[in-house]
Amino acid sequence: MTLPQTSTPIFSRKAREILDGTIQPVVVIIFAMIGVLVLLAATGYDPAKAVDAMGRSLGKDLGGTIRWTTPLILTGVASALAFRAGVLNIGVDGQIYVGGIFASMVALGPASTMPGIIGIPVVLGAGILGGALWALIPGTLRVRFGADELVTSILLISVARLLVEFLVLGPMAAAGAASASLGTDQFAEGLWLPVIIPRSTANLGFFLAIAVAIGMAFLFYRTTIGYALKMVGQNRRFAVYGGISPVKTFMIAMLGSGAIGGLVGSMELLGVMRRMPQGFNPGLGFDGIVVALLARNHPIACIFAALFFGMLRTAADNMERFADTPRTVVQIVQAIIVLAVSAQLSFGWLRSRMNRRSTPTSGPASDELTSRSGIDMPA
């Protein structure tokens, strides 16, 4: 088992890896879906209608699916970037809010008179900057003072959400009648991201998201930065010993992750909301963690994982509307997937530990055989 396999493979190594990596998530998804259908049937809902609603999200309501897939691809990639380097940026949601704030400040200010072709990139750039700056706070706290970024980045989500609330209630509140709706004025029409499926909010951002995912795949697998991030993420002491700067890689992962979060914020506003309402982010960042988990931090796999969750979210909307089924079923599906994937990861981890311990081929392991088991006296 620990010996390298020498038998001739049926598939090439690459193909086998892709296959191995795909089968498990698909199995997990299938089981999650079956679980939910059984649950619906058991609680008196009609599973057939649920299946029907699911079908709708790929047919009549494809626009809805694309609309949700777009931000989920990006938040998935944002999480994958951080996780690859072992950085626990759990605060993408906060970075989305601040990206949105920066975007709307620019969109309502200097960019309001620009033509779309210039204005849109400027606004998106502002969003990216905002997200990166918000990620700089937990990043600096970690590097300077050793404060755990997991905790600080989560705490900063609430700060960002309340900041949006404050701004739309006061300084940036819409004028006149619109002010009652707790949001800013609408952005100039030229800044709206072009819709790609009529009668929906699916917009050009979808292609941008795919481009970002592909770009990130290049970064991960073809660049020195990607290599450094991976080495630090896998074994920090090894990477540092080899000359890789842990501070630099940490900041790249943290700020990169925040920048993508900021992009999501600005795209949501330009493409879907067309202004900044309060609480405009329904937890896209946390959903992105699940996407990255299912995609095992692979940017291209994030596209497919996001598509699945986008479909699910749309199906949930439709179920509530047409099948009278509560949308919480989506959360149940997500929960099952999170449990299954993390159980699988921890089993894999446990197995590799067990192997290491019981394989006398490596030095320290065979010592452990005698020193760890049996004797119960303190050393």
Partner 1 sequence: MAYSVELLDITKRFPGVLANDGVTVRFEEGGIHAVIGENGAGKSTLMGILYGLHQPDAGQIIVRGARVTVPDPSAAIALHLGMVHQHFMLVPSLTVAENVILGNTPTRRGLTDIKVAEERLSALSEQYGMAVRPGARVRDLSVGILQRVEILKALYRGADVLILDEPTAVLTPQESFALFDTLRALSAQGKTIVFISHKLKEVLAVAERVTVMRGGKVTGELATAGTNERELARLMVGREVILTIDKQDPTPGEVVLELRGVHAIDDRRLPALRDVDLQVKAGTIMGIAGVEGNGQTELIEVITGLRPTTGGRISLGGTDITGRSPRELREAGLAHIPEDRLERGVSTEATIEENLILDTFHKPPLSRRGWLDRKAIRSYANQLIRDYEIATPDAETRAGSLSGGNMQKIVVAREIAGGPPLLIAAQPTRGVDVGAIEYIHRRIVELRDKGSAVLLISAELDEILSLADEIAVLYEGRIVSVQPRAEVDELELGLRMAGVHGDAEPDGAGAAA
Which of 62-94 are b and which e, b meaning 16 or more Cβ less than 10 Å from the residue's Cβ?
Answer: bbbbbbbbbbbbbbbbbbbbbbbbbbbbbbbbb
Distance CA 138, CA 145 (A): 10
The HSE-up count of residue 349 (CA atoms within 13 Å, CB side) is: 6
Residue of 227, 327, 338, 344 that binds partner 1 (CB under 8 A): 227
Q: Which stretch binds partner 1 (CB under 8 A): 61-69, 196-204, 226-234, 293-301?
A: 226-234
What is residue 203's three-state secondary structure? strand
Residue of 10, 42, 180, 375 that binds partner 1 (CB under 8 A): 375
5 forms part of the interface with partner 1 (CB under 8 A): yes
366 forms part of the interface with partner 1 (CB under 8 A): yes
* Planar angle of CA 144, 163, 290, nearest 5 degrees: 70
Nearer to partner 1 by Cβ, of 4 and 146: the residue is 4
Q: Please give the residues from 12 up to 71 whose contact with partner 1 meets the rule CB under 8 A.
A: 13
Residue of 56, 67, 230, 298 that binds partner 1 (CB under 8 A): 230
Using CB under 8 A as the binding criterion, the count of chain residues that bind partner 1 stands at 49
Nearer to partner 1 by Cβ, of 113 and 370: the residue is 370
The CB-of-3 to partner 1 minimum distance in angstroms stands at: 7
* Planar angle of CA 55, 56, 59, nearest 5 degrees: 95
113 forms part of the interface with partner 1 (CB under 8 A): no
8 forms part of the interface with partner 1 (CB under 8 A): no
Q: Which stretch binds partner 1 (CB under 8 A): 188-196, 301-309, 318-326, 365-373?
A: 365-373
Distance CA 38, CA 209 (A): 34
Distance CA 185, CA 179 (A): 8
Q: Which stretch binds partner 1 (CB under 8 A): 20-28, 167-175, 235-243, 321-329?
A: 235-243
Q: Please give the residues from 280 up to 309 whose contact with partner 1 meets the rule CB under 8 A.
A: none
Q: Please give the residues from 239 up to 258 whose contact with partner 1 meets the rule CB under 8 A.
A: 239-245
The CB-of-259 to partner 1 minimum distance in angstroms stands at: 18
Of 251, 206, 324, 274, give the one whose Cα is nearest residue 89: 251
Q: Please give the residues from 323 up to 352 whose contact with partner 1 meets the rule CB under 8 A.
A: 352
321 forms part of the interface with partner 1 (CB under 8 A): no
263 forms part of the interface with partner 1 (CB under 8 A): no
200 forms part of the interface with partner 1 (CB under 8 A): no
DSSP string across 311-354 = HHHHHHHHIIIII---THHHHHHHHHHHHHHHHHHHHHHHHHHH
377 forms part of the interface with partner 1 (CB under 8 A): yes
Nearer to partner 1 by Cβ, of 328 and 355: the residue is 355
> Tokens 């800013």 — which residue?
184
Residues 6+ apart with CB under 8 A from 68: 309, 310, 313, 314
Give Rg (Cα) of the chain: 23
Beta bridge partners of 183: 277
360 forms part of the interface with partner 1 (CB under 8 A): yes
The HSE-up count of residue 334 (CA atoms within 13 Å, CB side) is: 20
Residue of 16, 60, 222, 353 that binds partner 1 (CB under 8 A): 222
Beta bridge partners of 195: 203
Residues that bind partner 1 (CB under 8 A): 1-6, 13, 222-228, 230-231, 234-235, 237-245, 352, 354-356, 358-364, 366-367, 369-371, 373-375, 377-379
